[in-house]
Amino acid sequence: MRYRILGGTGMEVSAYCLGTMMFGAAGNPDHDDSIRIIHRALDHGINFVDTADMYSAGESEEIVGKALRGRRDDVVLATKVHFPMGEGPNRGGNSRRWIVREVEASLRRLGTDWIDLYQIHRPDHRTDIEETLGALTDLVRQGKIRAFGSSAFPAHETVEAYHVARQRGLYRFRTEQPPYNILARGIEGDVLPTAQRLGMGVLTYSPLGWGFLTGRYRKGQEIDLSRGRAARAPQRFDPSIPVNAAKLEVVEELVKLADELGRTLPELAIAFAAAHPAVTSVILGPRTMEQLEGLLKGASLVLDDAVLDRIDELVPPGTNVYHPVGLWSPAPLTDAALRRRPVGDRAAG
């Protein structure tokens, strides 16, 4: 396993990061089995583990904490804050009040005295970015976290946060965690170049495109919308929907390419994400040991220029076949009132 410096922090992290979203009630409810999977990843050389407070309502952090007993010093541990953790106001977001409270809850669940990378899970336009950066800076100075980063932030908000930190004498985001895969390359045009220019580490998630790059879903084959991920979000899998049909078309060509290489489609997909010069580490999110073992087999795969050119022909650089789940959308695109003048003020004359 190769190791890279994480965003100028001096911390060396493996080129694969173990994501733990699937450990707990949302995926694998067997704690002992989940712990075995984590240990297998560590034994293979992965030293970077990513979780979040909201994964299975804190259960994922508890599992990770149990798995790292006796091995904590060997692991760069990352978690996140933002999404609601309970009913009522002030139980989510990026306010100082919530960050200071929730970091203590994460430390308890993880069974550790410090978090290596504390990430803001999503932007929060109700909270001034200076408020958020100020709270995170204080946590670094208190020794509760070593560094902090963002997740699914648009490039312009990353730049804004950078300048606010410089102007106010605050610590800055050292990393960004965006979704990135062959079917979702939109961030190549702005997020990844911005991270490179600002010296940020990048840990990408969803390298298998919500399962479409596993080869499990194929053109012309019936997709059971009543099971697994398809049951939770059938609109993302229903082949009668044009965007899903477009994904299946690309997958057919990618399967052919993987076969030519003598590799599996997941191995091809993860090697693609790891090949981008801005990407520090690719997050793997297995639910079972079998899935982990299959993904680890691709660690040595090197995609040459000819293969990457073939992929560029199928999905041009900087384009999305689908809009990645969880990726930030500009408010004017989701709220019509922000892109429409009052009726009485729309006429030019």
- Whole-number CA gyration radius for the chain: 20
Per-residue pLDDT, 334: 74
Neighbouring CB atoms inside 10 A of 346's CB total 8
Q: What is the crossing angle of helices 289-296 and 31-43, to 10°? A: 20
Instruction: Give per-residue pLDDT as tens, 252-301.
Output: 999 999 999 999 999 999 999 999 999 999 999 999 999 999 999 989 99
Query: How confident is the model at residue 228, as a pLDDT?
Result: 78
Q: What is the pLDDT of residues 133-179, one digit of tens each?
A: 999 999 999 999 999 999 999 999 999 999 999 999 999 999 999 99
Q: Residue 45 — left, alpha, or beta (φ > 0 → left; ψ -120 to 50 → alpha)?
A: left
pLDDT at residue 231 in the model? 82
How high does pLDDT run on average in the chain? 95
Q: Is 55 a residue of the active site? A: yes
Handedness of CA 148, 150, 155, 156 (dihedral sign): negative
Length of the chain measured in residues: 349
Q: Which of 160, 54, 45, 159 is nearest to 98 (CA)?
A: 54
DSSP per-residue string spanning 275-321: TSTT-SEEEE--SSHHHHHHHHGGGG----HHHHHHHHHHS-TT-BS
pLDDT profile of the chain (349 residues), mean per 10: 97 98 96 98 98 98 98 98 94 97 98 98 95 98 98 96 98 98 97 98 96 92 84 88 95 97 96 97 97 93 97 97 74 80 90
Residue of 3, 16, 55, 118 with catalytic role? 55
Strand segments, DSSP code E, in 26-106 are 48-50, 76-81
Q: What is the pLDDT of residue 56?
A: 97
pLDDT for the residue 349: 85
